Amino acid sequence: MEINMEVRNETTIQEFILEGFPAIQYLGNIFFLMHLLAYLASITGNMVIIIITWADHRLQTPMYILLSTFSFSECCFITTVIPKLLSIFLSGRQTISFTSCLTQAFSFLFFGSIIFFLMAVMSLDRYLAICKPLHYPAVMNLRVSFLLAFFCNALSFILITGLVLKVSQLSFCGPNVISHFFCDLGFLIHLSCSDTGSVEIYVLFLALLVILISLILTIIAYSNIVVTIVRLPSAKERQKAFSTCSSHLIVLSLMYGSCVFIYVKPKQTNRLDSNREAALVNTVVTPLLNPVIYTLRNKQVHQALRDALSRVRLQKQSFGGKYKFVFQEDYQ
């Protein structure tokens, strides 16, 4: 037993290999370009939401403060994964140190948890706005929205830090190939040669807490919203009420749908490959669609963007007029 322990200590793995997508490696350059464009578009779209929220005082409401926090978390979430994915498309397999692997796993789960918690909070915000409109100004204000955003960040940090610390104490002395395009903790735990029972229980606890509880809260909130909308006397009022939360419902369907596909399905022989493909959708497609959904289906954002573009044009015209006037004076 002591000899075995000594051998394990001597062969402790210090780096891992991210396998990426070996089946489509010959199309690496094409997929690199596609995902680079998707990444830049997603970052740009989310940054537009953040900037327009803080630049236009009409959007400085609890709903848009939460939305801008959500957009910031989305930017961080995809930045944790996509740059490494792009390097894999260019050069095939990529090595990553144990410390970098844990850092990436922590960042991925940390920002992912924030996004799920924010989804639940945004659902609560819409519930109060539609079902309790008279109480909404007293319950939800800027101070409360900032506190809720801070709570989402703090809770995610505490939960994910505990998980990563547990994983960091595991021993890795066997295979070092991670069949994924980033350091997913599920794959990392699978490679450990230690007893992972307690870690797997903690992972299950986190999955139930982060995904299931946020989903339940969201379902309860939107069930009440639907009942309230149906009871509205005017068809115009029903349409207006539903339009305020329809974009949120689309995002919810994308987020929870992709996670259900990854985690809630029977075991298959190609389960790892399908998880990898589903995770690609969750980390590339969904963050790309989120800003499009919020901007294309929101009249307030449309108006704020039009006003911002009008101000930019006026500033250019004013600057051009002043420049022309100065040039004429110098010429004379």
Report whether 29 contacts 58 (CB < 8 A).
no
Instruction: Using the Cα atoms of residue 205, residue 182, residue 103 and residue 112 in order, give the sign of their dihedral.
Output: negative
69 has pLDDT over 70: yes
Report whether 203 contacts 186 (CB < 8 A).
yes
Higher-confidence residue of 107 and 56: namely: 107
Report whether 243 contacts 231 (CB < 8 A).
no
Q: Could you give the CA distance from residue 282 to residue 255 in angstroms, rounded to a whole number?
A: 7
* Per-residue CA distances from 173 to 19, 93, 312 (Å): 18, 20, 59
What strands, in cross-sheet order, belong to the sheet with 94-97?
94-97, 15-18, 177-178
**pTM confidence score:** 0.83
Which tokens go with 169? 């104490």
With a CB cutoff of 8 Å and minimum separation 6, the contacts of 230 are 238
pLDDT, residue 152, reads: 95
Q: Could you give the CA distance from residue 160 to residue 141 in angstroms, rounded to a whole number?
A: 29
| pLDDT tens digits, 263-275 | 555 444 444 555 6
118 has pLDDT over 80: yes
| pLDDT tens digits, 139-188 | 898 999 999 999 999 999 999 999 999 988 888 887 888 878 888 888 88
Q: What is the DSSP letter of 95?
A: E
Nearest one of 275, 301, 281 to 52, comparing CA atoms:
301
Which region among 19-23, 193-197, 235-239 has the lowest average model confidence (pLDDT)?
19-23
Higher-confidence residue of 128 and 29: namely: 128
Q: Could you give the CA distance from residue 117 to residue 219 in angstroms, rounded to a whole number?
A: 13
217 has pLDDT over 70: yes
Average pLDDT, stretch 240-261?
Answer: 71
Which tokens go with 142? 């800027």
* Per-residue CA distances from 86 to 37, 182, 242 (Å): 11, 11, 39
Nearest one of 94, 119, 280 to 177, comparing CA atoms:
94
